[in-house]
Homo-oligomer: A and B are copies of this chain.
Amino acid sequence: MIKIGIVGGTGYTGVELLRLLATHPQAQLIAVTSRKEDGMPIADMYPSLRGRVSLAFSSPEKASLTECDVVFFATPHGVAMAQAQELLAAGVKVIDLAADFRLQDTAVFEKWYKLAHSCPELLKESAYGLPELNRDAIKKARVIGNPGCYPTTMQLGFAPLLKAGIIDAGSLIADCKSGVSGAGRKAEVAMLFSEASDNFKAYGVSGHRHLPETVEQLSKLTSEKIGLLFTPHLVPMIRGMHSTLYARLTQKTDDATLQALFEDAYKNEPFVDVMPFGSHPETRSTRSSNMLRIALHRPNDGDTVVVLVVQDNLVKGSAGQAVQCMNLMFGLEETTGLMHVPVLP
């Protein structure tokens, strides 16, 4: 059994980790920290966990995190990098669901997150936690920077095209739509039901933190300079993410070739489903599961390929991906504890 600690278990990525780990056959939950809720049974905050998680939240001081095998950080940016070194020194692996270990370029990190990076040397050894593109590094890593939800869809959607060198890497467009849970469990007026329901809007069009991470990773797949326009939108649904990606083909490519490119790229991936060419994947077809689905279109037989990508932002876009990384780091079957059938309807 893997002994597991969670720092910051009160938010949506925290409770999602708890949902997944509660039925993971190799997971043993040791401690879930929350300074504010110290002593409160977790199931009192989340009645969905009654009878399934018996632990109470404990303040960080009381939690014996150094006795864990791995600690997940489901915290705001900046928390993991402050505690990672001590844990590693005690032989504990670290998976950060926030941004502390996503960006190798600390100047870029500091520009977008307004925080100095406190352990750049640790950052260097850390692995970016997207198994489909970085599996070997993850297996050997002690520290994981778990990808953002949007970047997961953008990378898996653009990767086969960039690797094949058949699109203009300088004019990528990602028009992305996320369910509201992506904003977290913070009391904010804009995320109230009466504000976000029966409504649709874009946000952060002039700049969003998931842009630099995506560019840094995509740049590894091509020698061309990446130019990416990323437009996030808020959808009145709890979970789910749909990215509509536009890429200009630089050489004549027919539909079958495009489809084969993607099917080949992901043929051994348990969590990436390439649907038939011309499909319209729905976010609900991945709800509460670790699956990500992709479908390709080439409207008007033109020179633009449209890639539709859907996932559950809290699972493949966050907690599920983190558990997938954990499985790899501990030599387990990658799919262990992650084979939930999506809940539909």
Which A residues fall within an 8 A CB radius of B?
Answer: 12, 15, 19, 22-23, 46-52, 173, 175, 177, 179-181, 183, 185-189, 191-203, 205-207, 227, 229-231, 233, 235-240, 242, 244, 246, 273, 275, 278, 280-289, 293, 297, 299-300, 302, 304, 306, 308, 310, 314, 339-345
Report the bound CA distance from A180 to B195 in whole Å: 10
A339 touches B200 (CB 8 A): no
Report the bound CA distance from A205 to B307 in whole Å: 10
With contacts A185-B189, A189-B187, A280-B202 taken as known, whether A341 is within 8 angstroms of B52 at the C-beta atoms is yes
With contacts A233-B242, A345-B181 taken as known, whether A205 is within 8 angstroms of B306 at the C-beta atoms is yes
Question: Which of A188, A230, A237, A242 has the most chain B CB atoms inside 10 A of its CB?
Answer: A237
**Taking the nearest CB of chain B, how far is it from the CB of A43, in angstroms?**
10
Closest chain B residue, CB of each to CB of A187 = B187
For A189, the chain B residues whose CB sits under 8 A away are: 185-187
**Taking the nearest CB of chain B, how far is it from the CB of A29, in angstroms?**
13
With contacts A47-B293, A191-B193 taken as known, whether A202 is within 8 angstroms of B308 at the C-beta atoms is yes
A19 touches B343 (CB 8 A): yes
**Taking the nearest CB of chain B, how far is it from the CB of A332, in angstroms?**
18
B244 touches A175 (CB 8 A): yes
Report the bound CA distance from A273 to B51 in whole Å: 9
Number of copies: 4
B235 touches A200 (CB 8 A): yes
Ranked 6 nearest A-B pairs via Cβ: A48-B342, A48-B344, A187-B187, A47-B285, A193-B196, A175-B175
A242 touches B195 (CB 8 A): no
For A282, the chain B residues whose CB sits under 8 A away are: 47, 199-201
B199 touches A288 (CB 8 A): no
For A194, the chain B residues whose CB sits under 8 A away are: 12, 179-181, 183, 185, 191, 238, 345
With contacts A191-B193, A343-B19 taken as known, whether A200 is within 8 angstroms of B181 at the C-beta atoms is no
Residue of B46, B200, B289, B308 touching A344 (CB-CB under 8 A)? B46
B207 touches A193 (CB 8 A): no
For A23, the chain B residues whose CB sits under 8 A away are: 339-341
Report the bound CA distance from A275 to B278 in whole Å: 37
A177 touches B246 (CB 8 A): no
Residue of B173, B186, B236 touching A246 (CB-CB under 8 A)? B173
For A198, the chain B residues whose CB sits under 8 A away are: 197-198, 237-240, 284, 287
For A52, the chain B residues whose CB sits under 8 A away are: 341
For A340, the chain B residues whose CB sits under 8 A away are: 23, 340
For A308, the chain B residues whose CB sits under 8 A away are: 202, 205
30 contacts between A and B (CB under 8 A): A12-B345, A19-B343, A46-B285, A46-B344, A48-B286, A48-B341, A50-B293, A177-B177, A179-B194, A181-B345, A185-B195, A187-B187, A187-B189, A188-B192, A191-B192, A191-B194, A192-B192, A193-B193, A197-B197, A197-B198, A198-B238, A198-B287, A199-B282, A199-B283, A205-B278, A206-B299, A233-B244, A235-B235, A246-B246, A288-B288
